[in-house]
Amino acid sequence: MSFTINAIIDRLQTAFPACFNRAEPKPLKMGLGAELLARAGFHPTLADLSRTQLRRALRVYTTAPAYQKALARGGPRYDLAGQPVGEVTPEQQAQARNGPQTPLPGPEPSPAPGFLKMSLKRRVRPDVGG
């Protein structure tokens, strides 16, 4: 069954309300993703989700502007039960304030301005009438 990432995040909020909250996100503990993936096989909310779906949902949740602002503020990190576990480091706060240092990969630049890089492929037809 296919799920959208937002629906998966909603399920995480329902299953772990002390940890996941889009309106007021808390910094998640380091390694929480591995803990979620370990529970995926037997937790009723996560049982039908793949590892890839969970990883993508966590990436969307943790790269959201509200979550990045929570990281930039600093303070404790939280586990699935909502208990403080560890602290956000000053380096992590700075990274959250500044955003990613390396730009996301984009399309390869065209060899000449105004032209698109294209490749032609020949279509092979099977012999008809044998």
Looking at per-residue confidence, does 57 or 113 come out higher? 57
pLDDT digits (tens, 9 = 90+) for 9-25: 999 999 999 999 999 99
Judge residue 86's burial from the number of C-beta atoms within 10 Å of its C-beta, 0-12 exposed, 13-18 middle, 19 or more buried. Answer: middle
How far from each other are the two terminal CA atoms of the chain, in whole angstroms?
A: 43
The pTM of this model reads 0.71
pLDDT digit string, tens, across residues 61-117 = 999 999 999 999 999 999 999 999 999 999 999 999 987 655 555 556 555 666 666
* CA–CA dist 54, 43 (Å, integer): 13
Whether CATH 3.40.50.10790 fits 5-98: no
Determine the pLDDT at residue 1.
40
110 within 8 A of 117, measured Cβ to Cβ:
yes
